[in-house]
Amino acid sequence: MRKKIVAANWKMNLTLAQGEQLVNDIIAAGIKLSEGQEVVIAPPFPYLIKVKQLIRNYPGIYLAAQNCYSEKSGAYTGEVSAEMLQSIGVDFVIIGHSERREYFSETNAQLAKKIDLALANGIKPIFCCGEPLEVRKAETQNAYVAQQLQESLYHLDAAALKNVVIAYEPIWAIGTGLTASAQQAQDMHAFIRSQIAEKFGREAALGITILYGGSAKPSNAKELFSSPDVDGGLIGGASLVAADFTAIVQSF
């Protein structure tokens, strides 16, 4: 059975004190994780070690970074390597979020290097893909997403792919209040799974966790997560409110 994951991407929000409070509130809510379900929290870099300490006694809650750099080490002022993340016990890393692609010009080829470095350091990449509004309007979203997968993941073998999570995040739904319908999400997730099956085989396709991201909230999470190919969510805005995030986690 493949893993179900609900991941909180705090993006560039919260002070350390606010972040601690949020994690403590999530823990205090006593969320019940069903078998094979994981919660992942992705705070900003400066809070990673603190959040690691806060969650250490709670099996099923994991730590993610929001990014890592595409080189191993060296003179890259301001960047953070996968090895550094590994050295502080980070479990997952978000790679290729659309905000990184847009504001920091990250390319599919650069993301492939980040994926390799994360995997080489034992960190599971949460690889983000998804189309902008004009692509959706032109109904060419499948080809767009297929290219993202090809250029960033298809150099892997099936064994390496087992440690990758995919997050489908239609850009037009991120932080906009516009959510993909459950059918739109299911259609794209099924398409992604079919692409993975074609390239890596049926077993890899059935085993890979594919998350939905884009204005997911307590009121729509249940419907989104009930689709057969939607294995959870990558949550932005609603992950900043403990009650909303825990309600989403409990939506399976």
Ligand X SMILES: O=C[C@H](O)COP(=O)(O)O
Annotated binding-site residue numbers for substrate? 9-11, 175, 215, 236-237
Q: Which is nearer to ligand X, 62 or 200 (CB)?
A: 62
> How many residues bind ligand X, per CB under 6 A?
14
Catalytic residue flag (residue 169): yes
* Catalytic site residue from 38, 99, 131, 169: 169
Do the beta carbons of residue 172 and residue 215 sit within 8 Å?
no
Asked if 214 interacts with ligand X (CB under 6 A), we say: yes
Among the listed ranges 28-36, 45-53, 212-220, 244-252, the one in contact with ligand X (CB under 6 A) is 212-220
Asked if 215 interacts with ligand X (CB under 6 A), we say: yes
Asked if 170 interacts with ligand X (CB under 6 A), we say: no
Residue among 237, 241, 250, 252 that touches ligand X (CB under 6 A) = 237
Asked if 211 interacts with ligand X (CB under 6 A), we say: no
Asked if 169 interacts with ligand X (CB under 6 A), we say: yes
Residue among 152, 236, 247, 248 that touches ligand X (CB under 6 A) = 236
Among the listed ranges 72-80, 82-90, 202-210, 231-239, the one in contact with ligand X (CB under 6 A) is 231-239
Asked if 9 interacts with ligand X (CB under 6 A), we say: yes
Restricting to residues 82-111, name those near ligand X by CB under 6 A.
97
Catalytic residue flag (residue 151): no
- Distance (Å) of CA 24 to CA 28, 109, 162, 166, 213: 6, 38, 31, 28, 24
Residue stretches of the annotated binding site: 9-11, 175, 215, 236-237
Contact residues toward ligand X (CB under 6 A) are 9, 97, 169, 174-175, 213-216, 234-238
Q: Catalytic residue numbers? A: 97, 169
